Every structure is written in structure tokens, then in C-alpha cells.
Amino acid sequence: MREFRVVDCRKKTVTPESIVSAGSPEAAALEILGEELMRGGHPRDLRARVYFKTDGQPLTMVRLYSKAAQR
């Protein structure tokens, strides 16, 4: 399991990040935010930014969006 930093983007004011160990960025966001999110979507549906680092690689950021059924 990797360590992920999850930034909640659901409100106009971005809240500080939370750190969690999970198997994927989506699993980390589900644990912190309680929502199932996906990697593709419209900017208005942005719910989280998830940061993680793999050995020997630069810091990676993934944007996660709400699913169409959750809007």
C-alpha cells in the first residue's frame, strides 16, 4: 500500500490535505471523503486532488471527479 495525500476540493475553500494508506488514489479518496470518484470528468465536478510518490519517480497528482450518477 502507498501513502496518499488527499486534498478535498468540494468547497470553494480548499481544505488541508489528509494522509492515508490505500491501494489506489480512488480508494484513498473513498476512505477520506466517503464518495466513489473517477479520474475523468468536467472541471465543475472536481472533488479531490490526490498526491503520491512512487520510488524513483517525481510526485504525481491525480484529479478525481464525481460520477454522473452522484451529481
Closest CA to 64 of 15, 31, 29: 29
pLDDT value of position 62: 97
Taking the CA atoms of 66, 19, 9 and 54 in sequence, report the sign of the dihedral they define: negative
pLDDT tens digits for range 7-56: 999 888 877 789 999 999 999 999 999 999 999 999 999 999 999 998 88
Taking the CA atoms of 31, 39, 45 and 52 in sequence, report the sign of the dihedral they define: positive
The whole-angstrom separation of Cα 57 and Cα 14 is: 26
Burial class (CB in 10 A: 0-12, 13-18, 19+), 38: middle
